[in-house]
Amino acid sequence: MDLFDELREKFPDLVSAAPPSAAHNQVSLALLGPDVRALAGHLRSAYDSRLVAVFAEDRVAADGVFYNYYVFEQPGEPCYLIFQAPIPADQPSFPSLAAELPAVNWQEREIQDWFGLEATGHPNPRRVALHDNWPDVHPLRKDFPLRQVLPPFEGERHVYRPTLGEGVFQIPVGPVHAGIIEPGHFNFAVAGEPILYLQLRMFYTHKGTEKLFEDMPIPRAVFLAESISGDSAFSHGTAFCQAIESASDMVIPARALVMRTILLELERVCNHIGDIGAIATDVGFAVANAHASRLRELVVRLNEGLTGSRWLRGMVCVGGVRRPWSAAQCDLLRDTVDRVEREFDSLVALVQSSDSTRDRLEHTGMLRPETARELGIVGVAGRASGVDLDVRRDHPYAAYERYSFHVSVYQAGDVLHRMLVRVDEVKESCAILRAAASDLREGVLPPGPHCAPAQPVPPGRCALSAVEGWRGEILHWVRTAPGNRLERCKIKDPSVNNWAAIVEAVQGNIIADFPVINKSFNLSYSGTDR
């Protein structure tokens, strides 16, 4: 209320007199107009606030307006601050923040593409989520039918900035790649071997996931959430379920919270070990990758033993988890974690013993801390470049408040330190897993179910959920609808923020180092093309 009173006094023509509404880990304030530039500047300068996300909602039928939502986070505050800014349907535009806050570049352009709301003053207003030859449609407006059949696309495709200068050439890579990854186009400008700049084009397999959420009952929507990014299925599924649980004021059993924590950390361990091996491969250290692949296989077999799925699908549900674990499964968890921890130390020692590997990784693909902060980089990439953010610590969820762990932050911002963040996090995750497994096995937790009883979800509720996926911060925001359905579900995968980091990190490096730089970020095409 102190902050509300201050903002009301400082911005009387913008901040509504209606008192803020509070829910689990969030406080919402209504605004009177779409221009939040002065308010955002004040929060950044006076409180060192971070703009976490910007997204829109079509409420024309109900309220006669669109809304933009601005989610802020203040250091040391467990609650997110959400501003709801109305945009008149007959004046569909809002002042852009992208010139001052490059972190919202793609997010504001997504709003333009999906809702037809113009971000006036945006430094690069070209389409991003919809490609250049799409017809003039806005798929997330309520009057756009989900099963609308569009005519064949015609017109000019994306035109890249031309290369200029003697001896400067373009090298296109993609959008189809020589592997089982999804499409993305990397267009390099090079002078010999050094990279001058990189232009990205994503969204080749845009799936309309946020639109699909509006057409299915909530229990089925959990499975859709798990498909947003396949290697983060449990993290996205948990983020979605937490949003529904918050909107429903649902109390989750302690046992379910501990089990969720275990599965979230197993997902982190599995992917971090895989990335360490892949980074080694990209500099020719195939033996290290062989050890990492064997170790990762131990983890995915444990996943299957605990959930029936190597990628942890089908386990999370609204209210907790779908199945309890037997004593034998708890023993399997404890024994596998002990083995993985021992052998992981050997893998790290092997990698660190190679001077040629360190030479290829150190000072390669550097992302300066000030650049990382400007671009809003999160997760592993951010922590390697001095960005001290971790949702598990800053906005605890699941059972993370029960366990102490260290968040590793480095300043160098190169490939080596992005790998070291992964190494540190695997070790911390093993400690969390041991403690959580002990809680399940030794009767520390009070007796109770693995899932809360099913209950209808009240309509008209809004809730934000955050999870620290293994790549970084995942956000899900929902507005519930009658009939146990959703009116809106906003998804933000960490990759949406972090692709801009690769553009900065490759400059001045040679083309031969691009694969290892790209792998050190290991971003999700699917999470971006949601």
Secondary structure in 3-state letters for 467-507: EECCCCEEEEEEEEECCCEEEEEEEECHHHHHHHHHHHHCC
Residues of the chain below pLDDT 70: none
pLDDT of residue 530: 87
**The pairing of beta strand 50-59 with beta strand 26-30:** unpaired
Of 292, 316, 179, 157, nearest to 235 (Cα)? Answer: 316
Percent of the chain with pLDDT over 90: 84
Listing DSSP states for 398-421 in one string gives: TTGGGS-------S--SHHHHHHH
For residue 259, the cross-strand partners are none
Look up the CATH number of domain 2-120.
3.30.460.80
The token pair that represents 486 in the structure block: 């959703």
CA dihedral for 347, 352, 357, 358, sign (positive or negative): positive
* Distance in angstroms (rounded) separating the CA atoms of residues 313 and 318: 14
Segments of 130-255 assigned E as strands = 168-173, 185-191, 195-201
Q: Distance (Å, rounded) from C-alpha 66 to C-alpha 59?
A: 5
pLDDT digits (tens, 9 = 90+) for 188-245: 999 988 999 999 999 988 889 999 999 889 999 999 999 999 999 999 999 999 999 9
Give me the residue label for tokens 């947003």.
228
Diameter of the chain by CA atoms? Answer: 73
Amino acid sitting at position 408: S
Cβ–Cβ under 8 Å, residues 244 and 225 = no
Beta carbons of 194 and 168 less than 8 angstroms apart? no
Structure pTM?
Answer: 0.95
Question: So where are the chain's domains?
Answer: 2-120, 209-528
Place of tokens 């990628």: 311
DSSP structure class, residue 197 = E
What dotted CATH number matches 209-528? Answer: 1.10.645.10
From the number of C-beta atoms within 10 Å of its C-beta (0-12, 13-18, 19+), residue 66 rates as buried
What is the reported pLDDT for 159? 83
pLDDT at 285: 95
Question: Do the Cβ atoms of 449 and 320 come closer than 8 Å?
Answer: yes
Q: Give pLDDT, residue 377.
A: 97
Tell me: the pLDDT tens digits for 277-295? 999 999 999 999 999 999 9
